[in-house]
Structure 1
């Protein structure tokens, strides 16, 4: 996708000689966009735009002198690879000045010699740490301000990384909520976020593949990709790659094949998914994600706003309310990752839950879960790091172990909903050979201390869920986490009831 199409403001800010932050989660196309933008700007003849990565400077830690050297080495190497004429390149040697001023002095010397306006695009700015971050940002601030006194310095600087402007302010000694003259980033004009793809963007990207190869993605396939990814660029690309290259599909790509590709991606836990999910146990991420999984309202304190911004910058949470996971693929992977320790306790054979006619035996699965809960529930709840969401995570682990491989699990959850909705989809073949899809819906509720029995609300909520799915039956699972709850060995009672509209429901209390 052309840079000006994905982020038109970036070009406008550069033309206005502004310094700004560009942030987005990993694997969203930031580096590709910066590289293309730099090439386009330089090709126009008035600007020398250079992109280079700060990643190598991560090893310097607080040693700002080492960080300066590593950054200048990366800058020179990027310039050497650019193919520019000699007159545009940085000088052969940098000014010999005191460490802590070398980076800014080097940029000034380059801009003094270069016949064009210099634009600098620093990728992976997050790699800088501690004193190194403070030093580099301070030198950029000093050079930015000195331009008004005639000192040569880059006309525009773009800092690209995962985090929003407020985190850079904190890292460089400023306060996130207000302008601070001592903060290196009171010079920043704006903080831009590289957005996700729209459905039309996905259609255009896949259309490029069709033009090159003749292989089409059906309209339903494109729509399913958007539903599963919500436009997250890496996932959009990964699903297409999985279908075309790993699954070897040669004809038109269908929504069903996209669904299969999604399952394969989740099972193999590609590097991108692992890197995102590795953040789940960071304290500031957990403070946001735990109420999302548990369906509770988050505890709002002065730090929560920063934690929420951080989780959004990582791409885990949607950018706008309600507070929920960014896309269905992440939603599924999160529960699988959190439930993995509990899943190791599930010894039942998945094949034993398949009925003679090929359908899935959900009533028996719930009965087996009662046995499992009585034996392992107390220990697993105590061990679960996401303690408030422990019950939901453990049941999801049990379901995943027994449904995955033959069927699909769809989960819906968000902060404040006080529930987790689950849909089991199980493909089977009818006696006359027709391919059918069994669908079983359930809702999970938790009875917490000081609350009323959640059954009435649960039945009403399940009623709406079943109506949306056009199903006539469902199951409601209620976990009792009150101090006065029955002993573990006595939990697991079943009852049959109906929703407000008359749908048949099995209620399990554990």
Structure 2
């Protein structure tokens, strides 16, 4: 693993300033590891005792704040007992007997009164606290924080660690989202730290530890491909390497090719991290964010900023606009999960689309999709929860079912683009046995009610995409969602068109 402290240097500075602040990041990014390491270093230096306490156990209490306090204090005592500290640094043998709703704050006060050192407390998994329990704990922390200037014994520094950003805790602790609200200890937006993903250099540093231990090297192409696929998401970075070295048992130097295979295996296995991420897709506030991204639409609801913040805190989308899915692996997982219903209705044999020379028969796939669309499209659109993105999801599911057996699908989509770009990569052998890669590019557009024919715009956009891929031809698929569209049984016209730069394009209207 990477040294935790350099990933979050600001935390140490804020603790030395006796500040209360929030550390947030998506799951599986290394928050707990960093807190544990920081706690060990602070305690070893002799000026403070620093303890990481998980709030996970208190989740079962729900709104019962008295039960939540008991569970949280049990976790605190257990963590302290496991610390190996001398008795004089430990919390008292029994907690003060006070009214429920005050017990957690009173316990911290009593510990800080007795302890000869500054107490630094890290509350990990703070998101586990819910409803009244969260309000109660945060209100007690705010009350103790505000009394400290008058000599009140309370933790010198405190960190709330979880998924969510600052404003959620400020509201729950009795304040408002306004950054200038002085009623909350979490009132300065600069004190909400987000743990970032790995950089490409950090991935190389991490993988070099494997090389030092085993002698097995990762090529620069392999590291670059891992960064491209994961955008540095720590769990994905580690999981790809584990898949390659332990499960696939690749020997010798690791190149970009096994990275590609490991990505497919990871997605197919739907590991816990990916599965829990996918389970969020049908939450209303996640759906309100993800549907325009998949459909290429725009955000028109001014109240959607809270939903966007929530999706960013989950790690689903990029931090900076325009909103995009956070990395290519998540992009793949999202479309596969959303397209699962469609896949159950596809009975074509993927092997039948392989030509005698080993290449992939894309024209035939498009013809088969027309047949499938005429038969199932109307019903599948009505059943698809992401109604605005239904066409894109259905075609993606069809492609995935027939391409992913022997090839790869790369998909690009983002809110505001009005399109979804697809690259099919199909490995095959040339006449002399050399390894070749067939590449076919497609762009998906939707003709919506009241809009103009999207073909001219689609040809310009596809032209740029083909130029970036250095390809001379491509496919433009236009889904007609207008009430005046032809009957379903008559859809599926093929035509030829030329892009502004002279590239030949097959246009399919369905």
User: TM-score, with normalisation over the residues of structure 2?
Assistant: 0.98
Contact 1:419–1:443, Cα closer than 8 Å, also in 2? yes
1:268 is matched with which residue? Answer: 269
Secondary structure at 1:334 match in 2: helix
1:474 has 2:474 as partner = yes
2-side partners of 1:419 and 1:80: how far apart?
57
Deviations 1:206-248 (A, max 9, x none): 1111112211111111111111111111111111111110110
2-side partners of 1:62 and 1:175: how far apart?
21
1:496 is matched with which residue? Answer: 496
Q: After superposition, where does 1:89-108 map in structure 2 within 5 Å?
A: 89-108=90-109
1:347 is matched with which residue? Answer: 347
Unmatched segments (≥5 aa) in structure 1: none
1:296 is matched with which residue? Answer: 297
1-side partners of 2:114 and 2:372: how far apart?
73
1:77 is matched with which residue? Answer: 78
Q: CA deviation at 1:175?
A: 2.8
Deviations 1:222-280 (A, max 9, x none): 11111111111111111111111011012111111111111110111110001111111
Unmatched segments (≥5 aa) in structure 2: none
Deviations 1:25-53 (A, max 9, x none): 00000111111111111111111000010
1:414 is matched with which residue? Answer: 414
1:66 is matched with which residue? Answer: 67
Q: CA deviation at 1:173?
A: 4.2
Contact 1:340–1:397, Cα closer than 8 Å, also in 2? yes
Q: After superposition, where does 1:338-487 map in structure 2 within 5 Å?
A: 338-487=338-487
2:46 is matched with which residue? Answer: 45
Contact 1:448–1:480, Cα closer than 8 Å, also in 2? yes
2:144 is matched with which residue? Answer: 143
2-side partners of 1:52 and 1:127: how far apart?
12
2-side partners of 1:282 and 1:136: how far apart?
27
Deviations 1:123-165 (A, max 9, x none): 0000001110011001111111111111111000000000001
Contact 2:123–2:159, Cα closer than 8 Å, also in 1? yes
Contact 2:138–2:172, Cα closer than 8 Å, also in 1? no
Instruction: Give the direction of change, closer, same or farther, for the CA distance of 1:189–1:501 in structure 2 (3 Å limit).
Output: closer
Q: CA deviation at 1:179?
A: 4.5
Contact 1:18–1:188, Cα closer than 8 Å, also in 2? no
2-side partners of 1:171 and 1:250: how far apart?
52
Aligned length in residues:
509
Contact 1:141–1:187, Cα closer than 8 Å, also in 2? no
Contact 1:18–1:189, Cα closer than 8 Å, also in 2? no
Secondary structure at 1:14 match in 2: helix
Instruction: Give the direction of change, closer, same or farther, for the CA distance of 1:281–1:368 in structure 2 (3 Å limit).
Output: same
1:330 is matched with which residue? Answer: 330
Between 1:255-264 and 1:171-180, the stretch displaced more is 171-180
Deviations 1:364-408 (A, max 9, x none): 000000000000000011111111100000000000000112100
Contact 1:107–1:153, Cα closer than 8 Å, also in 2? yes
2-side partners of 1:112 and 1:161: how far apart?
28
Contact 1:138–1:184, Cα closer than 8 Å, also in 2? no
Q: After superposition, where does 1:163-178 map in structure 2 within 5 Å?
A: 163-178=164-179
Between 1:31-40 and 1:185-194, the stretch displaced more is 185-194
Secondary structure at 2:320 match in 1: coil
Q: CA deviation at 1:183?
A: 5.0
Root-mean-square deviation (Å): 1.2
1:193 has 2:177 as partner = no
Secondary structure at 2:318 match in 1: coil
2-side partners of 1:173 and 1:362: how far apart?
59
Q: CA deviation at 1:184?
A: 6.4
1-side partners of 2:113 and 2:390: how far apart?
61
2-side partners of 1:235 and 1:122: how far apart?
25
Instruction: Give the direction of change, closer, same or farther, for the CA distance of 1:178–1:189 in structure 2 (3 Å limit).
Output: closer
